[in-house]
Chain A
Amino acid sequence: MSVSSNRPKSSTNSISVLGLLRDYGAILGMIAVLGIFWYLKPAFLSAANVENVFRQSGIVMIMALGLTIVMKMRGVDLSIAQTADAAGLIAAMLIIAKYPIWMAFAIPLLFGLVVGIVNAVLMAYVGIPAIIGTLGMMFIIRSGELMATNGAEPQILFTLPRSLTRDFLWLGQKDLGPVAALIVLALVVFLVVFVIMRFTPFARYAKAVGSNVRAAFLAGIDIRMIFGLGFVIAGVLAALAGVALVSRTGIAMPRGAEPFLLDAFAAAYLGTLASRQGEMSIPGTLMGALFIGFLSNGLTLLGLGAPYRYALNGGFILLAMAIGALKRKN
């Protein structure tokens, strides 16, 4: 990572080595970090571990993609991790209460949709600043969860009879053909979001809202609807990530998904390193999520736990933003 920050501020020749460093230095830095892990723990890049990381990153990515869409419009959604948490909890409770499996997928997604719509109304139509509104929403959902679980009792699926949980846990634990179903899901979500954010009018309108909301308004764009849609997408994706997480782990710990908020933010901000202008992008977020996944996995392999993950992720957010600021100055 440090490579790119060493480059001088004025490089006249854009095809020079320095120019390459500016554009790709951050990515080289990430690869270097991963290389160090590999050197210290060769098991880091074993097929089994890599697949494990992909599954974990997939969940982070699904959540971070929604966040990326909102943040590209200069909003923010702090409620995504809590939405994911609650969605997973709802899925687990439905299965424990012996509801059909399809409901364990559909109801949490519906919940995510409702949270997204409420957020959209508050931020886009009432006009509450997104930081405040989504933070408030996060705590309202948390209260709901705590009350529903009688003070954060975990909802355990893996001790239930296999027949009851098999179909639900398939998503997170089994393979679809040669690849883990969860990785397939993540890929499909990535492609769908990629297509939405590249080839649809929504993407164009969102870009206009994010860079000049007044001009977008005067050009006849329904800016409130577009801004609000971002929150709706973020809510649904967060719920999907929450269901996938519970399906992978077989247990729904109330508040267990909260640390994913940090991961999602770090993924989205690290993604800005992939862009020349330091903008957030869908492929950038994928890259960021993969890096975050490998990073936390590597730290775990080295026996370094949550504290390092927090500190490093926070540090990487700041580093990515600082590099972005330097890029824009150029």
Chain B
Amino acid sequence: MTSTIDVARHQEAATTSVLECRGIGKEFPGVVALSDVSLEIRAGEIHAFLGQNGAGKSTLVKVLTGVYQATRGEILVGGKSVQLRDPRDAEANGIAIVHQDQPLVAQLDVTRNVFLGQEITLAGGVLDLSTMRKQTADALRQVGATFDADTLVSELSVAQREQAAIAAAIVRKPRILILDEPTASLSDSEAELLFGIVRALRDNGVTIIYISHYLDEVLDLVDRVTVLRDGKLVATLPVAETSRAGIVQMMVGRDIEQLYPKEQVTIGEPLLQVRGLTQGHMLRGVDLDVRRGEIFGIAGLMGAGRSELALSLIGALPRSGGSVTVAGKPSDPRTPRSAKKQGFALIPEDRRHEGLVTDMTVRENLTLPELSRFSRAGIVRGGQERAAANSLVERLRIQPPHLNQATRNLSGGNQQKIVIGRWLLGDAEVFLFDEPTTGVDVGSKVEIYRQMVELARRGAAVIFISSDFEEIAGMSDRVAVMHKGRINKLFEPGEATAETLLYWASGSADDTEAEHGASHEAVADEASSQMPAAGVAASPAQAATPPSLWARWGTIGGMVVVLALIAILAPQFLSFNNIFDVLKQGSVLAFIALGLTVVLIAGGFDMSAGAVSQFATNLAAGTMIAGAGSAAALGLGALTGLIAGAVNSALVLIFGMPAFVATLGVMFVAMGATLLYNGGQALTLSDQPGFFFIGQGYVGPVPFVLILLLGTTAILHFVLKRTRLGLRMYAVGQNLLAAELRGIGRARYATASFMLGGLVLGLAGVILASYSYGASALATGIDFLISALAAAFLGSTLNKAGELNVVGTLIAALFLASLSNGLILIGISSQALPGIQGLVLILSIALGVIHKRGIGQVLIF
């Protein structure tokens, strides 16, 4: 690939350094993550950072992109010392990064994702979509993408998302582009495509820092490598002066020799047999035989499919194919619960999020899976439970040895011992240890190794998954190496060393390459045909299928059918007068639904929507009675809504309350305030033609309120879809992580969402006062709430991406109004209406859940 021109250019560029680190050190409490790292990145090169897990690569990248601040040392960009305080600083200095599995906002199109955080705007924050689309198309062409800039990200395959993420980095015109494990979830052919893009970028003058575990691809692709080990720089070398074996040598090797308490245990008959196990595109046919008394190592780097293997064995991930037997009996558990009954025990990779229940005590955690053993007649026997937990604490030397302390503040080692200990009480025979020693102190490590030996001695089969190849080599009998979803090497006892394991784990050997390519297609086909629901296709050609015709147009079709039925049963439904009457009725509720939709987009939930509107209704009626005029009523209504929005957002953001609770409280306060204000009496208005015109007037044959509604919807639609503010509100609501990585914080846009929504809700209240000639005596805020929620969520099913949107809300609200009018015309009691609204609400959400579409933050309570 290296042409003579390249070489010439490189030599010319070799003198200029674009990025230099001088003595970078980074310390976390108790841990030195980086110490005295000095290196130089030259203009126009592809420079790889290599190192094992925990070597400090990602810390270094985070320092370079402003996520972390170095404890000491200096960063120079283009020869000038710079301070990188946050990702925006890094971007301003021309450093862009594509994160591993970069999160994107699935419901937005590619253009908006690409420019998120750095939108090109016209006056007043209006998005300059045509310019952005053009630049996105250019960038997509550069990365060889076959999809266009208007495609929704949710319709892209994994590889295409990677291309979109790189395009996003390109439009920021970086001088330095950092790619973090870009091939981790790509197939071989997709990775090849990516290498072409990377080379083309370099040829266009972009300097690239490339981080990968796969040494093969690194050696083909990069110009120079920097090897890190234990937070220190080992060497920076041109790739021509090194070899894979040489790099492996530099990556492994510890400062302190670890002692492994491995003992010889008699190996018994085979216990676990796995044949051709596949899982999506993460496992591509795994065969294993593990015997009693054996510690079977599985060495693999991140993304090799190790954890997927463990999870699909215990039924936590659905299998796509293959068979498993335990002690000769077929095993296909649907849930970890049935796997437990078949003798499986998993010590999960992520201790804090998947293993421990940190709010529970040591005792409660230790007995969690086997609690039924200590209960009789449905009551837990405290004495027996304590005795069992105590024996475990002693056996595992958990420190401090207190049963009733919370596990949250224990050290990593003691937490891990608890997660292991909970499986020692039961009948588990197949133990899956997934990275049991990450973040664990040395003493606890030895204790964990001892437990593995002890289990093997008792005749269990122990599967030991790790990317720390020294411990795998030191503790295991046989070792299998996993690479890209397969086992590509099996070592007999005593054969494996840290070097050979890393050698095999970091790339497939040449002789298996051909077979790889040949079987790849078949596996990909199989995977996609058996796992249609996963929505993750294995190659760019098989992009995730766009939603079916039914999913896309089902709601609209259903609405038309329902309205047609009503029209057949009650012909007067379609009369001119009735239609406008319905539109007028529906408009008031549609206003409330619009306000609620705006809040739901970025603010989370809003229980108070209906109650706030109703409070505004009362204030407006009161203002009119006091003779202050329509303008005052409108102003007061708007102010009320804004204040309610501000209070809601303050409660959510400052006190960290769940949006539901905060708005529930505000709802009750607003209901109380309403009743205090009107004293339990209806505030009836009369003879206010100017004010009544808002809700009851006609312009020609058209109700004025409908015109107002359409105008408001158009404005909101414009703000939400065509301005920076709206784009960021959607981004914050739909994928907060993606937004934050682009430097967009939640506070500002959630507040905007609450306030803008509150404004609409307040105005809706005033319109309600005008429409109904005053305010009723009741505080029926929750009734408005359900109609508004039903409209908002039904409206979201009209949208291609299933996102909440004001146009959908408008259509849905008017549909619901027509429905209630139609049902009354047919002669069905209006008392059925709340129930129908409730059903519509549940069904439209169920539709979204079943189609696995995002419904924003509402899911989170």
Contacts and interface: CB of A to CB of B under 8 A. Distances in A.
Interface of A: 74-76, 122, 126-133, 135-144, 146-147, 151, 195, 199-201, 204-205, 207-208, 210-212, 214-222, 262, 265-266, 269, 305-315, 317-318, 321-322, 325
Given A207-B360, A310-B672, A321-B661, A142 B861 contact: no
Interface in B83-133: none
A304 to B, nearest CB: 9
B507 interface: no
A129 B829 contact: no
Given A208-B357, A220-B339, A200 B375 contact: yes
A318 B665 contact: yes
B348 A218 contact: yes
A31 B846 CA distance: 46
A312 B845 contact: no
B576 interface: no
A122 B829 CA distance: 27
* Best-surrounded residue of B656, B676, B842 (most CB of chain A within 10 A): B842
A144 B838 CA distance: 12
B837 interface: yes
B833 to A, nearest CB: 7
A143 B665 contact: no
A221 B674 CA distance: 46
B229 interface: no
Contacts of B359: 207, 210-212
B667 A314 contact: yes
B789 interface: yes
B838 A139 contact: yes
Interface string B824-861: 00000101111111110110011001100001001101
Interface in B373-417: 375, 378-380, 382
7 contacts: A195-B379, A204-B360, A212-B359, A219-B369, A314-B670, A321-B665, A322-B655
B662 A321 contact: yes
B16 interface: no
A266 B665 CA distance: 9
B477 to A, nearest CB: 26
Nearest to A304: B676
Contacts of B728: none
Nearest to A221: B337
Nearest to A122: B842
A210 B836 CA distance: 32
Contacts of B838: 135-140, 142-143
B346 interface: yes
Given A128-B846, A212-B353, A321-B657, A204 B371 contact: yes
Contact of B671 (A131, A211, A216, A310): A310
Contacts, number: 218
Contact of B842 (A132, A146, A151, A199): A132
Nearest to A71: B861
Contacts of A210: 359
B672 A143 contact: no
Contacts of B657: 318, 321-322, 325
A142 B669 contact: no
A214 B656 CA distance: 23
Given A199-B379, A200-B379, A222 B831 contact: no
Interface string B662-687: 10111111111111100010000000
* Best-surrounded residue of B360, B382, B655, B672 (most CB of chain A within 10 A): B672
A212 B669 contact: no
A141 to B, nearest CB: 8
Interface in B666-711: 666-676, 680
B365 to A, nearest CB: 9
B676 A307 contact: yes
Nearest to A200: B378
Contacts of B535: none
Given A139-B835, A310-B669, A310-B671, 11 more contacts: A129-B855, A131-B861, A139-B834, A201-B371, A201-B380, A220-B335, A307-B672, A307-B674, A317-B668, A321-B651, A321-B657
B584 interface: no
Contacts of B839: 136, 140
Contacts of B829: 146-147, 151
A314 B669 contact: yes
A220 B660 contact: no
A143 B820 CA distance: 13
SS of A interface (majority)? helix
Nearest to A209: B357
Contacts of B43: none
Contacts of A122: 842, 846
A259 B671 CA distance: 11
Contacts of B348: 215, 218
B336 interface: yes
A311 B672 contact: yes
A74 B658 CA distance: 11
Contact of B849 (A127, A135, A136): A127
B316 interface: yes
A127 B852 CA distance: 10
Contacts of A219: 336, 368-369, 422
Nearest to B353: A214
Nearest to A321: B657
Given A220-B340, A222-B335, A318-B666, A133 B845 contact: yes
Contacts of B353: 212, 214-215
Contacts of A313: 668, 672
B290 interface: no
* Best-surrounded residue of A201, A310, A322, A325 (most CB of chain B within 10 A): A310
Contact of B369 (A147, A212, A220): A220
Contacts of A126: 846, 849-850
B664 A208 contact: no
Contact of A201 (B336, B378, B850, B861): B378
Given A142-B834, A143-B836, A208 B668 contact: no
A325 B655 contact: yes
B779 interface: yes
A321 B382 CA distance: 33
Given A131-B660, A132-B789, A211-B357, A307 B605 contact: no
Contact of B357 (A131, A137, A139, A207): A207
B20 interface: no
Contact of B833 (A132, A143, A195): A143
A136 B369 contact: no
Given A135-B789, A217-B336, A218-B354, A204 B835 contact: no
Contacts of A207: 357, 359-360, 364
A309 B670 CA distance: 12
A120 to B, nearest CB: 14
B358 interface: yes
A309 B672 contact: yes
Given A204-B364, A215-B355, A325-B656, A129 B858 contact: yes
Contacts of A307: 672-676, 680
Interface in B460-474: none
* Best-surrounded residue of A214, A215, A221 (most CB of chain B within 10 A): A215
A151 B829 CA distance: 9
B189 interface: no
A207 B669 CA distance: 31
A143 B359 CA distance: 41
Given A200-B375, A207-B364, A307-B675, A216 B357 contact: yes
A311 B669 contact: yes
A219 B369 CA distance: 5
B668 to A, nearest CB: 3
Nearest to B679: A307
Nearest to B829: A147
A126 B669 CA distance: 33
Contact of B661 (A138, A205, A269, A306): A269
B621 to A, nearest CB: 16
B356 interface: yes
B364 A310 contact: no
